Structure 1
């Protein structure tokens, strides 16, 4: 049972109904988490804008999903890894790609360097060493790429943390976290 109401077209205000329409146009449906995020039209509009800006950004959709899977696993968001895995499969990522990404790994060394950088940012709250920042650049990622990673962090932290508070049902094939302790507090 969600701790924050899951809005429906029947319970939505006119402003929320407008966001529902935008969400369906963007994603083909209105996932439960987004229906709950729409309790704040300002927040959900911000989410949709950031999502679109990053979709138009430097990273292809497959890499964006891998980044999200790594962050979602690290932050303990079962909803997010389930949603992103379902989308990743539609984008032709394999089960191996998905599993590797959840661990911050990739079959591509350059991608893995970026995923390692992302996980270091999450684990150390952005407090990285010179060597850690240089390593991602040495792998071939530009300053623009490094900067854009922060948009993906914000987007994923928003959904990860929101789900951990709201605890909506998962309306995608469910993936369980490798480390259940990352969501244990919220089960009480």
Structure 2
């Protein structure tokens, strides 16, 4: 169902316009996801602020993208898989590694513990197995990282839900193996 749609700058309220103009100035475009989130300046502004805050936390940019890829895979979001595959490659992952992160098969033990826990958090509705938690900690992650992981999963789930309820095209190079997930 396409309840939401991307707003043009003219359609957005004054606060959303300012936020969208700042996004365009920073990254050179306004992704359809953000233009859609702009239906609420509180959602868009709060999302971007919380994202910036979490990205200054425990995880590297690569780890943050791994979290986003695993969350988007579990939530079956073609848009976010495409966006985070692009961002993951910009942060040093290969195309093959982005697929391995999505399917919890990456050889890097620490990254695999991360994406396995993320997948369980999403698929088990916030109740990952003790084994996944123990493995996460045994690879060197802390309770602070665990708390921030929950926040990053929540943020990515917001974007996944906006896409699932939006009527917009994917404006990033399309990730592999998303054909069955595309609704637009």
Residue 58 of structure 2 corresponds to 58
Residue 119 of structure 2 corresponds to 119
How does the TM-score come out when normalised to structure 1?
0.88
- Call closer, same or farther: CA 1:131–1:97 in 2, change over 3 Å: closer
Q: After TM superposition, give the deviation of residue 119 of structure 1 in Å.
A: 0.8
RMSD of equivalent CA atoms? 2.1
CA separation in 2, counterparts of 1:168 and 1:2? 8
Residue 149 of structure 2 corresponds to 149
CA separation in 2, counterparts of 1:104 and 1:50? 26
Q: After TM superposition, give the deviation of residue 168 of structure 1 in Å.
A: 1.2
Residue 161 of structure 1 corresponds to 161
Bigger Cα displacement from structure 2, 142-151 vs 99-108: 99-108
- Call closer, same or farther: CA 1:16–1:170 in 2, change over 3 Å: same
CA separation in 2, counterparts of 1:82 and 1:169? 11
Does the CA-based 8 Å contact 2:5-2:167 persist in structure 1?
no
CA separation in 1, counterparts of 2:46 and 2:28? 19
**Consecutive unaligned residues in structure 2, runs of 5 or more:** none
How does the TM-score come out when normalised to structure 2?
0.90
CA separation in 2, counterparts of 1:129 and 1:101? 19
Bigger Cα displacement from structure 2, 159-168 vs 22-31: 22-31
Q: Matched residue pairs, number?
A: 184
Q: After TM superposition, give the deviation of residue 107 of structure 1 in Å.
A: 2.6
Give the secondary-structure state (helix, strand or coil) at the position aligned to 1:166: coil
Q: After TM superposition, give the deviation of residue 132 of structure 1 in Å.
A: 3.2
Give the secondary-structure state (helix, strand or coil) at the position aligned to 2:106: coil
Does the CA-based 8 Å contact 1:76-1:177 persist in structure 2?
no
CA separation in 1, counterparts of 2:130 and 2:94? 34
The answer to whether the aligner puts 1:43 opposite 2:43 as a matched pair is yes
